[in-house]
Structure 1
């Protein structure tokens, strides 16, 4: 086989059309070529293929064994290209394809699932790939093209930035405090943060990360007496239930607080954070639709 042009799309399409019609003349009419152009192109293809692909008959042409072999591959290649074109068109129109979504942990408790449920009802043909991570890492993944949409927040050290990534505020997330049911302040409704100055606090941030907890306590005029580092919410709730500490809980996570614990609002010193939808510079239509549903779920 000579040269690397045997598998050009136009040449393969011409081969298939001539084989289907059995005639250079009919193939020319179907493809809007002249008969001489078809003859020249088939001759060029046969030269590159290393020999004849058709038997020339008194009336028309038919594939020879080499032609049958190339025809089989040509049909497969053209079919795959057609399906690729169809899939890309569907993705750009917001139908089909894959949508890669990620969020920080508490956004995955109720906000993101509610939006995804509505999205999949209207777009069941879209495959959603969901994941979880910290906001700074999610912004980097968006910039690298590894995500189509992310839900991020400005906690603990401000909203991360990334080249080509845009953000839209979804909601302001107030932080509550969760207490054991038998705690003296359980069921109080709103609590003065200073009344918790003697408590042990459950906190997930590693030692090298800033903590909203220490900043908020400082504004209230005290330092946390003790910080117990527990990362997962299930572990935090277990420690609270055992009376081993109290924890700040975002309003996004309020739905997941076990019934045996007491969730209380804090006074004017209550810490808050803003939650954002983050998108790449050229978002998919499906990502824009999910963004709109996130706004609805946040509202």
Structure 2
């Protein structure tokens, strides 16, 4: 059985050059070897192959049938190695390969897409992949090596243990979404206490306090229970129908339909802090995207009239 370990990349490159030039001497000159060194290397390949790869002619050499077969395989191997080298160089330069990004739902409304757009314009050869999930799940995937960067938050149970690097991106402030005909819709900002009697459209329960409950508790009242809706589109539909009001993270402001009114809240309100989580040895592309995410400015005074 041939010794496949003898067919390393350098041996295959030397063999291919001898076949191309038809001469041990010409190949030696091109590769910077002595003619005797090339002859010895080819002889070692022929022993590993179990027979001659070249016919020795009066002037030069030519491939035997076994040599033709080996050259076909060598061309495939050397091409794959060349492409692998190019891809690795691009990955280390941050200009190629695949970048796997995870983010929580409201970060995918504006923050992450805007950064990904800028990144893709600058690095069109990088394949971008995006997954959505809760922050604890995203950090699990990051630690397992399934993500290169995760956009996470400290809501609702604090910042999950992510390991690696944690880069603060900003704070996400709360806004209130009102139907256009609401009595406070014309105000520049709204005091949450003025909404104590309203019916609230809440998030579907997950077994932990919501931002709405935390904010209302800080304002000194318990929100009047209304409808529970998991998806933002459903919440906005309920508000537009006059079934209640709801709180909206600034990150999700762009998703609010134009027929609703958005107002900032007065006073001290709870905020959600947003971070980029990276492994200990982050890809250059992940670091660059983190920088773009860090240029985000959180909506704190958004109004829609």
State whether TM-score is above 0.5.
yes
Please say which of residues 218-227 and 143-152 is displaced more in the overlay: 218-227
The answer to whether the 8 A contact 2:99-2:126 is kept is: yes
CA RMSD of aligned residues (A): 1.9
TM-score normalized by the length of structure 2: 0.90
Task: Confirm whether residue 169 of structure 1 aligns to residue 168 of structure 2.
Answer: yes
CA apart distance, 1:270: 2.3
- Name the counterpart of 1:180: 179
The farther-off stretch of 29-38 and 103-112 is 29-38
Q: Which residue in 2 is equivalent to 1:138?
A: 138
In the TM superposition, 1:56-135 aligns within 5 A as: 56-135=56-135
Residues 1:20 and 2:20 aligned together: yes
**For 2:91 and 2:172, how far apart are their aligned partners in 1?**
33
Structure 1 gaps, min length 5: none
* Aligned counterparts of 2:244 and 2:30: Cα–Cα separation in 1: 79
Matches within 5 A, 1:1-299: 1-164=1-164, 166-226=165-225, 228-298=227-297
1:6 Cα deviation from its structure 2 partner? 4.5
- Report the 3-state secondary structure (helix = DSSP H, G, I; strand = E; otherwise coil) of the residue aligned with 2:5: coil
Aligned partners of 1:176 and 1:270 also within 8 Å: no
Cα shift at 1:77: 0.6
Provide closer, same or farther for how the CA distance between residues 206 and 61 of structure 1 changes in structure 2, counting only shifts above 3 A: farther
Which segment drifts farther, 135-144 or 13-22?
A: 135-144
SS in 1 for 2:173: strand
- Which stretch of structure 1 is more off in the superposition, 130-139 or 234-243? 130-139
Structure 2 CA distance, aligned partners of 1:269 and 1:162? 29
> After superposition, what is the alpha-carbon deviation per residue over 1:153-187, rounded to whole angstroms, capped at 9, x for unaligned?
111111112222x1222221111111222223223
Distance 1:206 1:67, change over 3 A: farther
> Is the 2:218–2:269 Cα contact (8 Å) retained in structure 1?
no
Shift of 1:70: 0.8
Displacement of 1:233 in angstroms is 1.1
Residues 257-283 of structure 1 deviation map (CA, whole Å, 9 limit, x = unaligned): 112112122221422111112222112
Distance 1:53 1:186 in 2: 86
Distance (Å, rounded) in 1 between the aligned partners of 2:266 and 2:297:
23
Q: TM-score, normalised by structure 1?
A: 0.92
Moved more, 247-256 or 6-15: 6-15
